[in-house]
Structure 1
Amino acid sequence: MLRIVVLVSGGGTNLQAIIDGVKDGIISNTEIAGVISNNRNAYALKRAEEHGIPSLCVSPKEFESREIFNEKFLEAVNAYEPDLIVLAGFLVVIPPAMIEKYRNRMINIHPSLIPSFCGKGYYGLKVHEAALARGVKVAGATVHFVDEGTDTGPIILQKAVEVEDGDTPEVLQRRVMEQAEWKILPRAIDLIANGKVMVEDGKVKMIQ
């Protein structure tokens, strides 16, 4: 049984997709051990509570230095003894010690087809604003392993979504969530839970 910890900063729609996926059997061999947010008011914490999932807030604002926060944050994650960490809209820089400890055991969902519209400064609506400003015809989402860079780790799954005339950033964001994010994040967790994913030479290989 794969134990996962989900890290969230906001509403937790991707967390909900994971909760539903586990409940419906789309994500097999998996249990959500805990949910951690950096934001005490994150609706994601309420979602966790409603489904009886242990949760807590660890905010950088509550510590006198980033170093102390990083240490306490890693302690909080370790306490759940996760096999996999899932970043589901988590807007805090991951401590280097955590990346090292959970190498190829931490994944992130990003709302674009990496390497487009990713890296520093590209998060949330900013991704979709940039995509529309560039006039792309196809948007999408990517699930990737987390490494020391921003959105630079090995890519696990991607799914494309059509951009339509008249799209606003908000409309495109919603379509990317519904048609891509909420599908490929549960799928990636299920593949990992069933031993179907390996990293070789910095790239993901699927094991049949």
Structure 2
Amino acid sequence: MQRKIAKTALEQRRMAKAYGLYAVALTLTYKPSENPSGKDISRFLDKLRRKLKGLGIPLLYTWVLERQEAFHYHLQIWLPRGERLDAKSRERWWPHGRTQAELCRSPARWARYLSKSETKESLPPGVRFFGTGGLDDRGQETVRRACLPRWLQRELPVFARPRRRRGGGWVDILTGELYRSPYVWKPEGITRRPPEP
């Protein structure tokens, strides 16, 4: 999660520069009696996406779910300069509790805060606890590659498109070439795979 959020933040900043966007730190808090649903954050983002689509701007976002006293989402979204996310719209789009928005002066620092893991341990099982979106093809590929195991990153050619392979390993969907981890898990720990004869 941390690697994905960090790399996504870099790619979002690249796109934000090209589109002239600025970062907003947003918190969506549930009422203490409410439990989170993935549909809630999706509906909120859909409404925001529709608003930006009319301006020809993609919705760049990162969100994480946390629980302290109440469940809440922290988001980093990117808006066109001059565009505001007013309190009335936020309240209409988030009927589950409170909202708070402020200018994000340090997007890199906020991305690090979003990726912390301490407040994600008390989440209900099966609930999604983070999401990202809005990246162009280049950004998606950069993030996808950054999230691969390090050994695979070193072995892959630049334009490879690896996918997990049932039964173990990775396969390049463009060439069919198979990549197997040089490591093996054993009860006594992880060791190097012995060379094949």
**TM-score calculated relative to the size of structure 2:** 0.23
Larger Rg: 2
